[in-house]
Structure 1
Amino acid sequence: MAKWAVAVAALFWAISGVVAQQLFASTTIQAPALTTIRMAFSGILFLLIFFVTRSKHGKLASRTRKFYLLKMPLFGVLGIFGMQYTYFQAIQHGSAVVATVLQNSAPVLLLFWAIWRTKSWPNLTDVLATTGAVIGVVLLVTGGDVTKLLVSPIAIFWGILSAFAAAFYILFPLSLLRRFPAPYLLGLGMLYGSIFSYWITPVTDWSMFFRPQVLPMFLYIVVGGTLIPFFLFLYALRTLPPTTVSVLTCLEPFGAVVFSVLFLGMSFGWGEIIGIICVMSAVLLLAFSKEPREPTQSQD
Structure 2
Amino acid sequence: MRRADFALVALAGLLWGTGGLAGAAAGESGHLPSVAVAAYRLLGGGLVLLVGAALLGAFRGVRVSRALVGHVAATAVLAATYQAAYFAAVERAGVATSTLVALGGAPVLVAVGTAVATRRPPSRTTVLATVLALTGLLALVGTSGGTGRAPLAGVLLALVSAASFAAMTGLGRRVVPQAGPLPTTALAFTLGGILLAAVAPVLGDPVGAPDSATGWWLLAFLAIVPTATAYGAYFTGLRTVPATTASLLALLEPLTATVGAVLLLDERLGLGGAVGAVLLASAVVVLRPRTSTGPTSMVGPGHAAGQPAAPTPRVPGARTRRE
| 2:61 match: secondary structure | coil
Instruction: Output aligned runs, 1:109-188, within 5 Å.
Output: 109-121=109-121, 124-125=124-125, 128-129=128-129, 131-132=131-132, 135-136=135-136, 138-140=138-140, 142-143=142-143, 149-150=145-146, 152=148, 153=151, 158-188=157-187
| 2:302 match: secondary structure | coil
Give 5+ residue unaligned stretches, structure 1: none
- Whether contact under 8 Å (2:75, 2:168) holds in the other structure is yes
Post-superposition offset of 1:15: 1.7
Post-superposition offset of 1:214: 1.0
| 1:216 match: secondary structure | helix
Sort the Cα spacing of 1:167 and 1:43 in 2 relative to 1 into closer, same or farther, 3 A.
same
Post-superposition offset of 1:273: 4.1
Which residue is equivalent to 1:19?
22
Post-superposition offset of 1:298: 5.5
Sort the Cα spacing of 1:159 and 1:139 in 2 relative to 1 into closer, same or farther, 3 A.
farther
Cα deviations by residue, 1:231-290 (Å, 9 ceiling, x for unpaired): 55678x49x9749x9697665432211101122233344334434554565565456699
Cα deviations by residue, 1:194-244 (Å, 9 ceiling, x for unpaired): 232123213645322x52231121111011222334455678x49x9749x
Instruction: Output aligned runs, 1:42-53, within 5 Å.
Output: 42-53=45-56
In proportion to residue count, which structure has more helix?
1
Which residue is equivalent to 2:228?
227
Question: More displaced, 250-259 or 151-160?
Answer: 151-160
Which residue is equivalent to 1:190?
189
Cα deviations by residue, 1:50-97 (Å, 9 ceiling, x for unpaired): 33333x553333xx332442332111102x213333444566674499
Question: More displaced, 263-272 or 247-256?
Answer: 247-256
TM-score scaled by length of structure 2: 0.67
Sort the Cα spacing of 1:85 and 1:281 in 2 relative to 1 into closer, same or farther, 3 A.
farther
Give 5+ residue unaligned stretches, structure 2: 292-296, 304-323
Q: Which amino acid letter does the alignment assign opposite residue 190 of structure 2?
A: L
Query: Separation in 1 of the partners of 2:9 and 2:62?
Result: 29
Sort the Cα spacing of 1:44 and 1:123 in 2 relative to 1 into closer, same or farther, 3 A.
closer
Post-superposition offset of 1:175: 2.9
Post-superposition offset of 1:8: 5.7
Cα deviations by residue, 1:156-215 (Å, 9 ceiling, x for unpaired): 55554433222111111333445313232112111221232123213645322x522311
Query: Separation in 2 of the partners of 1:275 and 1:258?
Result: 12
Post-superposition offset of 1:116: 1.0
Query: Separation in 2 of the partners of 1:76 and 1:135?
Result: 31
TM-score scaled by length of structure 1: 0.72
Q: How many residues are paired up?
A: 285
Query: Separation in 2 of the partners of 1:259 and 1:184?
Result: 31
Query: Separation in 2 of the partners of 1:250 and 1:111?
Result: 14
1:36 is the counterpart of 2:36? no
| 1:60 match: secondary structure | coil
Q: CA RMSD in A?
A: 4.3
Which residue is equivalent to 2:313?
none
- Whether contact under 8 Å (2:30, 2:216) holds in the other structure is no
Query: Separation in 2 of the partners of 1:283 and 1:109?
Result: 19
Which residue is equivalent to 1:77?
77
Query: Separation in 1 of the partners of 2:101 and 2:268?
Result: 16
Which residue is equivalent to 2:308?
none
Post-superposition offset of 1:133: 5.1
Sort the Cα spacing of 1:150 and 1:25 in 2 relative to 1 into closer, same or farther, 3 A.
farther
Query: Separation in 1 of the partners of 2:214 and 2:269?
Result: 28
- Percentage of matched positions with identical amino acids: 21
Q: 1:60 aligns with which of 59, 62, 67?
A: 62
- Whether contact under 8 Å (1:17, 1:100) holds in the other structure is no
Sort the Cα spacing of 1:142 and 1:5 in 2 relative to 1 into closer, same or farther, 3 A.
closer
